[in-house]
Amino acid sequence: MRAITVREYGGPEVLRVDDAPDVVPRAGEIVVRQQASSVNPLDWHTMRGTPFLVRVGRGLRRPTRPVLGSDISGVVDAVGPGVERWRVGDPVLGFGIAAWAERVVVKADGVVSRPAGLDPVDSGGVGIAGITALQALTRAGAERGQRILVNGASGGVGTFAVQIGKLLGAHVTATTSARNLALVARIGADDVIDYTVDDVVSGLPRFDAVIDLVGDRRIGELRRVLRPEGALVRCGDPGGLWIRPVAAVAGAVITDRLVTHRIIPLLATRDQADLQRLADWLGTTALRVVVDRVVPLSEVAEAVAHVESRRARGKVLLAVDR
């Protein structure tokens, strides 16, 4: 089967469309014939092997799991022993590992039914980004009447976070650059701040939660705009090979113990209930996937480079079956 592989760490030039061994489901697993996936920051971090902590579980000198990708959108192609929920032909979406391939094996609880009428290619952009946005907001305790700041609102996670914040009943303020102001307003942000003109961390404490998807601000700066007992959820990438990523997490954990604010470093986890919640919203069109572009597997290097540039607006999707 065709798959996108990386045999050595490096830039987008190390990505290859290869023949990979076919997959067979074990007990509790299914195989999905992929229709689409998407590019997430996790993919280019894995591709480059940076920060170096990425290599601890993926190979110090070269990747031990060559097939990249996490997001899943397709139809069930095979069912392993003990799986009762799924049947061959069921349309599903979710996330797992080694998803940039024509067929992907995933735990049966790693996917949910794809809503009728939802485009299978658009569905390829839901998994990681949607779950990250939802879990960031729920960990922050976002609810009706609260004021939420989404720092970095025009990317894959950010466009989901703005919409989900509104679905939870919050007042959402979003930061982005001038070129994306109209987009972020269109998907529901109540207030939009051009971070190149206005300093979001100036002014009185006014937010119940800050969802930081950029990682370019110190914790102390973002705390200035939090109300007492407010929450700061950090899922942004601070950059760096060693010290800065570790310091960002350690700083969040230590600060959380010293201040009244809740400081929460977030790494999204697979949760079928969260996936189902996203699917329900998508099925009613209350939530939509904001698409930057759709490319075939053969153009994956350009797609990854675009996401790595941080200029993507919404999701960059991979049409696996094209």
| pLDDT tens sequence across 17-32 | 999 999 999 999 999 9
Split at pLDDT 50, 70, 90, the class of 226 is very high
- Quickly count: other Cβ atoms within 10 Å of residue 50's Cβ: 17
Residues 5-20 have a mean pLDDT of: 95
Q: What is the pLDDT of residue 215?
A: 87
Flag whether pLDDT at 241 surpasses 50: no
Q: What is the pLDDT of residue 166?
A: 99
DSSP state of 54: G
- Quickly count: other Cβ atoms within 10 Å of residue 251's Cβ: 18
Flag whether pLDDT at 218 surpasses 90: no
Query: What is the CB-side half-sphere exposure of residue 78 using CA atoms within 13 A?
Result: 14
Q: Exposed, middle or buried by CB within 10 Å (0-12, 13-18, 19+), for 285?
A: exposed
- As a whole-number percent, the residues of the chain with pLDDT over 90 amount to 79
Flag whether pLDDT at 100 surpasses 90: yes
Q: What is the pLDDT of residue 50?
A: 83
The overall average pLDDT reported for the chain is: 91
pTM: 0.92
Dihedral, 69, 150, 167, 97 alpha carbons, nearest 10: 10
Both structure tokens of 136: 């960031």
Flag whether pLDDT at 81 surpasses 90: yes
Q: What is the pLDDT of residue 60?
A: 77
Q: What is the pLDDT of residue 237?
A: 61
Q: What is the pLDDT of residue 64?
A: 86
Q: What is the pLDDT of residue 242?
A: 39
Q: What is the pLDDT of residue 246?
A: 44
pLDDT digits (tens, 9 = 90+) for 299-319: 999 999 999 999 999 999 999
Split at pLDDT 50, 70, 90, the class of 146 is very high
Dihedral (CA of 85, 91, 94, 97) sign: positive
Flag whether pLDDT at 106 surpasses 60: yes
Flag whether pLDDT at 294 surpasses 70: yes
Flag whether pLDDT at 243 surpasses 70: no
Domains of the chain and CATH, by start: 2-126+289-319 (3.90.180.10), 129-265 (3.40.50.720)
